[in-house]
C-alpha cells in the first residue's frame, strides 16, 4: 500500500486547513499519511508514496512563502521518475492568476518526470461550498484513482 505525503503551500491558512482535513480523513481510513506544512524536499519520502500537494496561489500567481524552498529543491532535482503525485489548488476566480501556483507546480513535477495519478482539483474560494468540504467530497474518487487501499 502506498502512503500519502500531503505537502502544503499556504499563505493565509486555507490550504493548510484543507490538507489537515484530508489527512484526518485518510488516517481514519487506515491510510498512512504525513502532513508537511513546512515542506523539506530532502526529508519527504519519494518511494512507495503519493504526494498530494495542496497549495494556494498568492499575490500575482506566486507560490506561498512556505513552499518557496521546496520549489527551489524540485527545480534542482535531476529526475523524479517514479514519483506519484496529485495537486489541489486553491484560488480566487476574480483574479486572472486563478490557481496559477497549483498549475505551475503540476507542470514542474511533470517536467521532472513525476507521474500525475489524478486530475488536478481546483478549489475556488468564492464558491458557496467550503474548500475543505469540496475536497473531502472529492477524496474517495481520488483514493480509487490512486489505487490506495488499506
Question: Average pLDDT of 112-141?
Answer: 93
How remote is the C-alpha of 125 from its chain's centroid? Answer: 16
Contacts 24+ apart (CB under 8 A), 77-82: 77/41, 77/112, 79/112, 79/113, 80/46, 80/109, 80/112, 80/113, 80/114, 81/113, 81/114, 81/115, 82/46, 82/47, 82/113, 82/115
The answer on pLDDT for 1 being more than 80 is: no
Higher-pLDDT residue of 146 and 53 is 53
Radius of gyration of the chain (CA): 14
pLDDT at 148: 85
63 by Cβ neighbours in 10 Å (0-12 / 13-18 / 19+) ranks as buried
Backbone angles phi, psi at 19, to 5 degrees: -60, -40
Tell me what percent of the chain is helix, strand and coil, each rounded to the nearest 5: 40, 25, 40
pLDDT at 77: 94
Q: Which domain does 139 fall in, by range?
A: 3-146
- List, for residues 49-94, the tens digit of each pLDDT value: 999 999 999 888 899 999 999 999 999 998 999 999 999 999 999 8
CATH number of the domain at 113, please: 3.40.50.360
For residues 80-94, one letter each, b for 16 or more C-beta atoms within 10 angstroms of the residue's C-beta and e for the rest, the string is: beebbbbbbbbbeee
Per the structure, the count of domains in the chain is 1
Amino acid at each position: 500500500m502506498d502512503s500519502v505525503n500531503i505537502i502544503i503551500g499556504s499563505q493565509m491558512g486555507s490550504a493548510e486547513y484543507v490538507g489537515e482535513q484530508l489527512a484526518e480523513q485518510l488516517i481514519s481510513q487506515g491510510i498512512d499519511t504525513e502532513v508537511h506544512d513546512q515542506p523539506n524536499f530532502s526529508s519527504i519520502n519519494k518511494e512507495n508514496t503519493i504526494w498530494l500537494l495542496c497549495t494556494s496561489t498568492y499575490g500575482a500567481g506566486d507560490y506561498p512563502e512556505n513552499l518557496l524552498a521546496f520549489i527551489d529543491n524540485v527545480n534542482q532535482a535531476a529526475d523524479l521518475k517514479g514519483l506519484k503525485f496529485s495537486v489541489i489548488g486553491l484560488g480566487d476566480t476574480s483574479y486572472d492568476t486563478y490557481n496559477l501556483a497549483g498549475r505551475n507546480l503540476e507542470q514542474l513535477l511533470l517536467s521532472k518526470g513525476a507521474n500525475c495519478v489524478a486530475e488536478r482539483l481546483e478549489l475556488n474560494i468564492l464558491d458557496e461550498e467550503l474548500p475543505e468540504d469540496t475536497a473531502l467530497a472529492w477524496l474517495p474518487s481520488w483514493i480509487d484513482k490512486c489505487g490506495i487501499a488499506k
